[in-house]
Structure 1
Amino acid sequence: MDHRRELSQEISRKGVYNFPFASSESVPLPFPMGHGTTTLAFLFQGGVLAAADTRSSCSGLVACPAAQKILPIHSHLVGTTSGTSADCALWKRILSRELRLYQLRHGRRLSTGGAAKLLSHMLHPFKGTELCVAATLCGWDGGDFSGPGLFYVCSDGTRLEGKLFSVGSGSPYAYSILDQGVRWGLTVEEATSIAREAVYRATHRDAYSGNFVDIYHVTPNGWTRRTREDLKEEYYREKERRRLERERRGTTSSE
């Protein structure tokens, strides 16, 4: 009983108990924990569109072919995640909790910019650590700040506002499609097609990205999720487009 009492007092005083066999040295990893992904989001006249692949990788291994990289935060806000899966899932839950508490206290939702600022302030103390979180917050604000919002937040505290973001190892390939295709006047069908093609191009070149594509659309009525699509279908659509293009060129040449 005396030992338990001493242990309880030690925990109360220091917050943790220093076991004699504990070591402050970090344990070396058996192999480098490399990871990659392809996520993107952009603004257009129909709201905010977010897309991501579903391959979760660990060095040269595919840890999960059907991971969830776009995480709903509340009814009008979703976040694309890139980095360490566990870190992203944890901070998504923390941000969701804080936003829910804000809504209960003030009777209204915090704006997308406010959510990005809050997440940035929470992540900044971990700058220089192994925490790896890169999130793009896609939301629609109500009240005085009514309208779409798009912000990028990184684990070093970086916070950027923009109209188009692509994050992850496949982002350079995705930008090659987004830069030439994204414009304000897109319809929902056109925006969805461009987002799907951008993810497909990235997965074709980037070994860390692949499998399926998730697409979320955020509007004044909240977010909606399209049915998850296999990227092989986009491959077959691309082959059909090329076949039709060759036939059209052949017909033009014969005329």
Structure 2
Amino acid sequence: MRQRVHDRTVARNAVESIASAGEDRFAVPARRDGQTNSDDSRAIVKTGTTILGVVGADVAVLAADTRASLGGQFVTNQRARKIEPVDDRMAVAFAGSVSDAQSFVRRLRADLQLYKLRHGRPASVETAATVAGDLVRRGPYRILELVLAGVDDAPALYQIGRGGSVMRTEYAASGSGMQLAYGALENAYEPDLEVTAIRSLACSVVYSATERDTASGDGTTLATVTDDGVDLETFDTPEAAVAETSEEVA
């Protein structure tokens, strides 16, 4: 009898270990001390991604690479979309567990739609960011970082941390390529840039990150959020994204 119980326990632990190891992830940087978070029993996240957001004069832009990997060592998807519209004039970019991201986007869309039905008007970008932060803090989304962009009275950008923190900012980045992205953003960003300049800047920053961060790459997704809505584009390579958006500026 004891042997059967032991066998079942070993088998269950093996299945849980395989399931945990087999989950694709977009990148959230691991803790520097190499330890897991106290509220997260899963393996340390070591996969890669680059997501970013920038605010301009009348626009908010999100950009991301399209690579998803397993354990940071095997590319599982070269066309992963890491940016999703969540309302008519709002979109979110995400870094972290793929399953967490998919579940989170569905929940946030539902909550924003419910807000619209209850109040007779769309939620503001600030309200949406607060809702997103609450979901991350209270929900099961332990490995997820977000950049939310939207336009109501004016364009706005919010960075939502893994613990549910919400911070408004003019530009933001996350993922394994975030240090490279921040360096490029701080060097080139100027307040009140026009739509074409913001789009070109965002694509250039993604390109810079993919040049040095081996866990980011393949293609580029670009979301342009204006009063007219969310325009989502995908480019086959970061170079193609830079070339096309640079021509718009010229």
| TM-score exceeds 0.5 | yes
TM (norm. structure 1) is: 0.75
Amino acid at match of 2:57: Q
Q: Which residue of 2 aligns with 1:97?
A: 110
**Secondary structure, in 3 states, of the residue corresponding to 2:79?**
coil
Q: Which residue of 1 aligns with 2:67?
A: 55
**Secondary structure, in 3 states, of the residue corresponding to 2:49?**
coil
Q: Which residue of 2 aligns with 1:207?
A: 214
Give the whole-Å Cα distance in 2 for the aligned partners of 1:235 and 1:192: 9
Q: Which residue of 2 aligns with 1:150?
A: 157
State the structure with more CA Rg: 1
After superposition, give the CA deviation of every residue in 1:153-186 in whole Å (9 maximum; x if it has no partner).
1331211111110111001111221111111232
Partner of residue 137 from structure 1, selected from 139, 145, 148: 148
Give the whole-Å Cα distance in 2 for the aligned partners of 1:234 and 1:158: 31
Q: Which residue of 2 aligns with 1:72?
A: 85
Give the whole-Å Cα distance in 1 for the aligned partners of 2:164 and 2:125: 16
Q: Does 1:173 align with 2:186?
A: no
> Structure 1 residues 98 and 56, CA, compared in 2 at 3 Å: closer, same or farther?
same
Unaligned runs of 5+ in 1: 1-20, 238-255
> Structure 1 residues 95 and 199, CA, compared in 2 at 3 Å: closer, same or farther?
same
Unaligned runs of 5+ in 2: 1-7, 23-42, 245-250
Q: Does 1:189 align with 2:206?
A: no
After superposition, give the CA deviation of every residue in 1:76-100 in whole Å (9 maximum; x if it has no partner).
1000100111101110100000100
Give the whole-Å Cα distance in 1 for the aligned partners of 2:231 and 2:186: 24
After superposition, give the CA deviation of every residue in 1:88-131 in whole Å (9 maximum; x if it has no partner).
111010000010011112110111111111122222235xx782
Q: Which residue of 1 aligns with 2:50?
A: 38
Q: Which residue of 2 aligns with 1:86?
A: 99
Q: Which residue of 2 aligns with 1:3?
A: none
Amino acid at match of 2:178: S
Partner of residue 219 from structure 1, selected from 226, 230, 244: 226
Give the whole-Å Cα distance in 2 for the aligned partners of 1:140 and 1:212: 26
TM (norm. structure 2) is: 0.77
Shift of 1:231: 2.0
Contact 1:35 1:84 in 2 (8 A): no
